[in-house]
Amino acid sequence: MKKVLILSNHFATIYKFRRELVESLVDKGYEVVVSLPKSDDNEEIKSLGARIVETYVDRKSLNPIKDIKLFLDYSKLIKQEKPDITIGYTIKPNIYGGMASRIRKTPFIANVTGLGSAYYKGGTLKKIVSTLYKVGLKNAKSVFFENVQNAQVMIDDKTITKEQAVVMNGAGVNLERFSFSEMPKDDITRFLFVGRVMEEKGVNELFEAIKKIKQEGLKAEFGFLGWFEEDYSQIIKELEEKDYIKYYGYQKDVVKFMREAHCIVLPSYHEGMANVLLEGAAIGRALIASDIHGCKESVIDGVSGFTCKVKDSEDLYKKIKQFTLMSYDEKAKMGQCGRKHMEDVFDKNRVVELTVEEIER
């Protein structure tokens, strides 16, 4: 029996987006060990047939002592488990799991689900992260990316070689779990934002666009799902008091909210591949998203939704207004086209097949 060790920084990274991969590996006879921080939800990963090893990962810390400890923890874990291959998800497991695998001479696959704020903001932090990535990924068997732009950035700055890069269609979307449903027939057009409430998700531009839509008296409703990554509590409170938005906080099950919506909105500044857009389109909802890699792949502009200029609240407002004023049949047609696009390009089963093929290569 071959053993796969998966390193992650959060329960949701595996259970929400990679559960089908775990199930596939278990079905093929692999012993699957998942290393991630302690959580009450970890039992759900165990139910997939995996064994859990709890490893503390401070996702936001820049403390080098904590990072050195994580490297040592991973090195010890690989020595104890003796996996045939180790797979990392997100930045710290990729970097320190890659380093530990290199020391232990264990094949390693990294998954870069997005370049993140460090690359986006640039400066000293980007240089540090880039240097760490170069060390961590030097001997990686493969480095998976969710869009071509992210891969090219790391190739251009010589973090990895062209031969190491494997571009997937994101994590794909489970077309059965996110099954198609008819768009609701309401007089009010319902928009939904799902994600961390933070500047880089484009919420400032979205708030500005919403204010204009509401002030014009258009029949539109705006729902927000997600936790605060930054302090937006006062802004959210004021917008709720004016009945501009409805804030539902973090929700484990987003499907019921998506089914009640007509359009999923994500004016993000940068993404690996926005899962919320894939899920919304699979359900049959139109999309309005930034014209950036990681978002625009999900949308056929003018057919299954609209793309808008990044950091441009005016363009976002125009696209929201345009969709609001469309007839029900036009909106429903967009949702149907979005579902077809997911079936053609983003089927989760195909992504899992390609991942397993790379593991076994």
In this model, does residue 74 exceed pLDDT 90? yes
Question: Model confidence at 115, in pLDDT bands (50, 70, 90)?
Answer: confident
| Residue reference for tokens 């080098």 | 64
Provide the pLDDT for residue 279.
97
Distance of CA 317 to the CA centre of its chain: 24
Q: Choose the weakest-confidence range: 3-12, 53-62, 115-124, 194-203.
A: 115-124
Tell me the pairing of strands 220-225 and 189-194. parallel
Question: Model confidence at 342, in pLDDT bands (50, 70, 90)?
Answer: very high
The first and second tokens of residue 332, run together, are 């429903």
Provide the pLDDT for residue 160.
96
* CA–CA dist 271, 196 (Å, integer): 12
* Domain formed by 189-345, architecture: 3-Layer(aba) Sandwich (3.40)
Q: Residue 53: phi, psi to the nearest 5?
A: -120, 115
* CA–CA dist 22, 5 (Å, integer): 11
Q: Which strands form 189-194's sheet, in the order they lie side by side?
A: 246-247, 220-225, 189-194, 263-266, 286-290, 305-308
* Domain formed by 3-172+347-360, architecture: 3-Layer(aba) Sandwich (3.40)
Domain boundaries, the chain: 3-172+347-360, 189-345
How many Cβ atoms are within 10 Å of 330's Cβ, its own excluded?
A: 11
In this model, does residue 163 exceed pLDDT 80? yes
Provide the pLDDT for residue 122.
78
How many Cβ atoms are within 10 Å of 135's Cβ, its own excluded?
A: 14
Assign residue 204 a region (left: φ > 0; alpha: ψ between -120 and 50; beta: otherwise): alpha
Question: Model confidence at 353, in pLDDT bands (50, 70, 90)?
Answer: very high
Q: How far apart are the first and last CA of the chain?
A: 16
In this model, does residue 84 exceed pLDDT 80? yes
Provide the pLDDT for residue 131.
93
Provide the pLDDT for residue 142.
96
In this model, does residue 280 exceed pLDDT 80? yes
Provide the pLDDT for residue 118.
77
pLDDT 10s digits, 212-234: 999 999 999 999 999 886 789 89
- Domains 3-172+347-360 and 189-345 alike in fold: yes
Provide the pLDDT for residue 252.
82
pTM: 0.90
Provide the pLDDT for residue 317.
98
According to DSSP, the residues that pair with 309 across neighbouring strands are none
CA dist 11 to 56, 157, 166, Å? Answer: 12, 31, 24
In this model, does residue 330 exceed pLDDT 90? yes
Angle at 314 between CA 308 and CA 318, to 5 degrees: 65
Question: Model confidence at 153, in pLDDT bands (50, 70, 90)?
Answer: very high
* CA–CA dist 141, 349 (Å, integer): 22
Question: Model confidence at 101, in pLDDT bands (50, 70, 90)?
Answer: very high
- Whole-angstrom Cα Rg for the chain: 21
Provide the pLDDT for residue 137.
97
Please state, for a pLDDT cut of 70, what percent of the chain lies above it: 99
* CA–CA dist 26, 42 (Å, integer): 17
